[in-house]
Structure 1
Amino acid sequence: MDSFAAKWQPTVLSLFRFITGLLLFQYGVAKLFKFPVVPYFAKVEVFSLIGFAGTLELVLGAMLMLGLFTRLVAFILSGEMAFAYFIGHMFKGDTPVWFPLLNNGTAAILFCFACLYLSTAGGGPISLDAILRRKA
């Protein structure tokens, strides 16, 4: 089983990178273009903290899907997701809400660590990074 799984690991890494980027990209589209309509994002202004986060998710999510500058892009997104958790989820009202199930921060934590992993693992063989490396 290990040898079979190891054979597919590089391809699955590229797929994981693409899907992570796609999921972040959808948040950017929802925040900035209001599609699909998500009530929480309905009043997001472009020049607000959430609007800036949406811009990062849109642009860097697209770069992650393409596998362009994967390590740097994933590192920045990992930091953004950590920031999002501590600013947007952990503190509800005056007291911290420590449990991600209660503060709706599960996705932010998962994105943070998925991007942290991608910042160390790279984009995989099916990426613009790999194509650019081959040409150099």
Structure 2
Amino acid sequence: MMKFLDAYTEHSYALLRIVAGLGFMAHGVHKFFGFPIAFEYPMNAMTYGAGAIELVGGALIILGLFTRPAAFIASGMSAVGYWLVHGTGGLFPLANGGELLMLYCFIFLFIAARGAGIWSIEGKTAKS
């Protein structure tokens, strides 16, 4: 059974990268375009910066282009967002509502360490 699962390690990693990038990019779309629902907080320098990182970084991670730096910046933004927004409400993510940012932080840190992998622009150009 394990050898069967080992055959799909690269594919499951690519799916993790793409789905995490899509979810992250959706937050940027929400902030800038009010889709699928209106963004309920006032836009300021911090939300513009976070939205830009979510939108552009998420797209780069999905495409697998400049994946390591984009994922590293997204990881750092998630950590900062966690501590500035959610960390003030207590230490525990379940209590302060920061579980999503905590997961994004560590998923993107993993992607920054691992690289783009298959199904990526970087993977296609490396073989050429």
Superposition TM-score tier, normalisation by shorter sequence = over 0.9
1:94-131 CA-partner distances (Å, limit 9, x unpaired):
xxx11111111000000000001111111211100101
CA contact (8 A) 1:30 1:36 kept: yes
Residue of structure 1 in register with 2:9 after alignment: 9
Shift of residue 43, structure 1, vs aligned partner: 3.6
In the alignment, what sits opposite 1:134?
127
Runs of 4 or more off by more than 4 Å in structure 1?
A: none
Q: State the alpha-carbon separation in 1 of the partners of residues 2 and 68 from structure 2.
A: 26
Matched, 1:103 2:96: yes
1:5 shift after superposition: 1.2
Q: Is the 8 A contact 1:13 1:123 kept in 2?
A: no
| Residues 1:82 and 1:130: Cα distance change in structure 2 (over 3 Å) | same
> TM-score w.r.t. structure 2 length?
0.94
How far has the Cα of 1:6 moved from its partner? 1.1
1:119 alignment partner, one of 108, 112, 119: 112
Aligned positions, number: 128
| Counterpart Cα distance in 1 of 2:62 and 2:54 | 11
CA contact under 8 A between 1:10 and 1:124: conserved in structure 2? yes
3-state DSSP of counterpart to 1:114: helix
State how far apart, in whole Å, the 1-side matches of 2:49 and 2:36 are: 18
The answer to whether the Cα contact below 8 Å between 1:77 and 1:115 also exists between their aligned partners in 2 is yes
Alignment of 1:71-110 (within 5 A): 71-92=68-89, 97-110=90-103
* Corresponding residue number in structure 1 for 2:42: 44
How far off is 1:44 after superposition?
A: 3.5
Identity %: 36
CA RMSD of aligned residues (A): 1.2
Q: Which runs of 5+ in 2 are unaligned?
A: none
Q: Aligned equivalents of 1:80 and 1:91: distance in 2?
A: 16
TM-score by length of 1: 0.89
Give structure 1 stretches of 5+ with no counterpart: none
The one of 28, 52, 57 aligned to 1:55 = 52
